[in-house]
Chains A and B, each alone.
Chain A
Amino acid sequence: EVHLLESGGGLVQPGGSLRLSCAASGFTFSNYAMSWFRQAPGKGLEWVSVIGGSGSSIYNADSVKGRFTISRDNSKNTLYLQMNSLRAEDTAVYFCAKRGMGDFWSGDFDYWGQGTLVTVSS
């Protein structure tokens, strides 16, 4: 059974940093692209970043370019999101999600974690 578990969320001051982790199990982690999404309180979904199975393909949303870095450790079946220069508008629940078997840009994220809350506030 596929399982994704995010961790690392919490309260951070504006300008601070945080690293999120997503522990994966139940599938061959290195075979699948993984992505981060976020959802501000009471708002809709927003795509943040995606990384290919080998880690060589990385794309980021304009809203986080230059501040957030996605990475993965296939030996540990873990996805990461390093978040720097955090702003109040980055406050959200952050979800990791596994891509399906479609084309890279298919958008078929078939399994999601339950999310971890990041609050940016002084």
Chain B
Amino acid sequence: QSALTQPRSVSGSPGQSVTISCTGATNDVGDYNYVSWYQQHPGKAPKLMIFDVSKRPSGVPDRFSGSKSGNTASLTISGLQAEDEADYYCCSYAGSSWVFGGGTKVTVL
């Protein structure tokens, strides 16, 4: 159960778009369309933003979108807003288990 690889940080100005990558292997991200993304503000519980690679739960703004190509999944935040500043974690099914990425801090400049 190796961790997925995410960049430590990404940043953007309000209104810009940022993309967070999540690289796994053929036995997790590459083999299954069970990738989810969570947003976590400091001291708070995680919040589900994307599941099944690209599905958005009700209530999540359509500024958030997910995709996957091969062993790499991506989360794109369009029209960046101040409240989007948080840590983001990707998660993938890995055969009777889930594995997370190390997390990416998104900074709104």
Contact: B45 with A113, CB < 8 Å? yes
B55: chain A residues at CB < 8 Å are: 102, 108
Q: CB-CB contacts of A81-98 with B at 8 A, as 1s and 0s?
A: 000000000000001010
B100 touches A46 (CB 8 A): yes
Contacts of B102 in A (CB 8 A): 44
A47 with B103: CB separation less than 8 A: no
Known A112-B45, A113-B45; contact A100-B89, beta-carbon cutoff 8 A: no
Knowing A105-B32, A107-B98, the reply to whether A45 touches B46 (Cβ < 8 A) is yes
A107 touches B91 (CB 8 A): yes
CB-defined contacts of B38 to chain A, threshold 8 Å: 45, 109
Residues of B within 8 A of A103 (CB): 34, 52
Known A45-B89, A95-B46, A103-B52; further 10 A-B contacts with Cβ < 8 A: A44-B89, A45-B103, A46-B100, A47-B100, A95-B45, A100-B48, A106-B52, A107-B36, A107-B93, A110-B57
- C-alpha gap A100/B54 in the complex (Å): 15
Task: Tell me the complex Cα distance, A120–B48, Å.
Answer: 29
Once the chains bind, are A110 and B97 in contact (CB under 8 Å)? Answer: no
- Give the distance in Å from the alpha carbon of A44 to the alpha carbon of B52 in the complex: 21
Q: Do residues B103 and A107 form an inter-chain contact, with CB atoms below 8 A?
A: no
Q: Mark A31-52, 1 if CB is under 8 A from B, else 0.
A: 0000001000000111100000
Complex alpha-carbon distance, A37 and B97, angstroms: 12
Residue from B32, B46, B51 in contact with A100 in the complex, judged by beta carbons closer than 8 Å: B51
Asked whether A107 lies within 8 Å of B101 as measured between CB atoms, the reply is no
Residues in B neighbouring A44, C-beta threshold 8 A: 3, 89, 100-103
Task: Say yes or no: is A114 at the interface (Cβ < 8 Å to chain B).
Answer: yes
In contact, B98 and A110 (Cβ under 8 angstroms):
no
Name which residue of chain A comes closest to B47, CB basis: A112
Asked if residues A107 and B34 are in contact (CB atoms below 8 Å), the reply is: yes
B27-54 with Cβ < 8 A to chain A: 32, 34-36, 38, 40, 44-48, 51-52
Q: Cβ of A108 and Cβ of B36 under 8 Å apart?
A: yes
Taking CB as reference atom, which chain A residue is nearest B92? A107
